[in-house]
Amino acid sequence: MKTIFDEQIRAELIERVGQINEANTAEWGKMNVYQMLRHNIYWNGWVLGKDNPVYKQAFSGKIFGKIALKRMIRDEKPLAKKIPTSPQFQVKETKGDVKSEKADWVLLIKEYANYNNPDFIHDFFGKMTKEQIGQLVYKHTDHHLRQFGV
């Protein structure tokens, strides 16, 4: 399984982030390229524990989260195209500096080389192992890069 904790995988993802530009349009979903970049910066910061996030699992996740996680990361199959985004990760602003956002996302991807956030609790899946986190982060990153054709 591919994981964000693999140095070569991180390098490949960083190379793909580098291919993003303002001309990229979404092949599915409602985000534009700027919103996708901001979404990923916020989401990865949350996973990494930036700005001391408060972690809380949704009630529905307590019932279905572990089953859904196992299905999501059981194989190399990419994430489905139209998975809904949790409201806390939706980006309202539509314009900004794409180049700067790309650079910020790359810095966060690099931080997974030294990942240490034992307090992380996914808002739906709940408490996860480091291995599960690595696989989910890879799949989430790949999902959004594929969304914009890179």
- Assign residue 80 a region (left: φ > 0; alpha: ψ between -120 and 50; beta: otherwise): beta
Assigned token pair, 70: 């196992």
Predicted confidence at residue 146, as pLDDT, reads 98
Taking 50 as the pLDDT cut, the residues of the chain under it are none
Predicted confidence at residue 84, as pLDDT, reads 85
User: Model pTM?
Assistant: 0.96
